[in-house]
Amino acid sequence: MRILIADDEPMSRRLLQTTLERSGYEVIAVENGRQAADQICRLDGPRLALLDWVMPELDGPGVCREVRLRKEQSYVYMVLLTSKEAKEDIVTGLESGADDYLTKPFDAAELKARLRTGMRILDLENRLVEAREEMRFKASHDALTTLWNRGVILELLGRELSRSHRENATTVIILCDIDHFKSVNDSFGHLVGDEVLRETAKRLLASVRSYDFVGRYGGEEFLVVLNNCDPTFAPARAEEIRNTIAQRPVQTSVGPVPLTISLGLLLSHEWGRRTAEELLHEADKALYAAKRAGRNCVKVANSNSASGLTESTVDEPVRKS
């Protein structure tokens, strides 16, 4: 565990550093309060700190107050060291944001015990943060594939469509459906089907850019959102995704299982200010057109906006395997 000590007296600082290093701490020693605050407030700063009350530039309570204003950083356990013994001084120190208070001269064993208390508190905070992040992940991700779940991917799509409207850009919507997935479950069982779903998710993620979105739309369907994509290259991008999925079988616990997907593609700029639900409905039509065309292909939904028609047409597949 790293610990910071801040003391403007060189002898006191060296003695304290030696004591803590012998106890297994990695010590960062500074000589004034400004240096202490700067070190603690770094992203990788120490989370234990021993602060002398009286220091140049910034005193111990001042360091505590500045650190507590940094809401985004992990919790730091801070102990004030001082010769002040009056009750009002103790109250002032604790109200500044200090966690503990030790009067000089202090016993080394007592100091180590108080630091162990601080470490237990930091450990508890770490576990609470981990539990919170785990709950947040479960609330936003699909349990089987770890992709964005349906609610989140739809929310992300809505945000991206709003951004596209503002910036006169194009969002590409691709609905993907695993071909003959029911026969996989019927022939090999649902556990193997789960393996196929997980591998499909993995390949979809590998086939898009880091800032694109991929989510599980439902069952064996997936939704891919390509952000700020040049519409000229969108069909080729969809074809790359199709090929990434189809290029090799999935290695499962019962052996290799062939895998292909059908894709329905839609370019947002062709549809005006339609809602996400309306656009997904049109992409779904294109997807089922790909199914009817023999599967393992891409169909593109087009809106005939010039004539005022609301129904979509579907282009021929880019390539069919």
Just list the catalytic residues. Answer: 220
Which stretch of DSSP H or E encloses residue 256? strand 255-257
Give strand pairing partners of 266. 173, 301
**DSSP strand pairing (312-314 vs 77-82):** unpaired
Rounded Cα distance, 275 and 313, in Å = 18
Strands (DSSP E) along 156-235, which ranges?
Answer: 172-178, 213-218, 221-226
Give strand pairing partners of 312. 303
**DSSP strand pairing (172-178 vs 213-218):** unpaired
Rounded Cα distance, 280 and 156, in Å = 13
User: Which amino acid is it at 61?
Assistant: P
Rounded Cα distance, 46 and 56, in Å = 21
The residue among 16, 19, 26, 78 whose CA lies nearest residue 47 is 78
Give strand pairing partners of 100. 79
Length, in residues, of the chain: 321
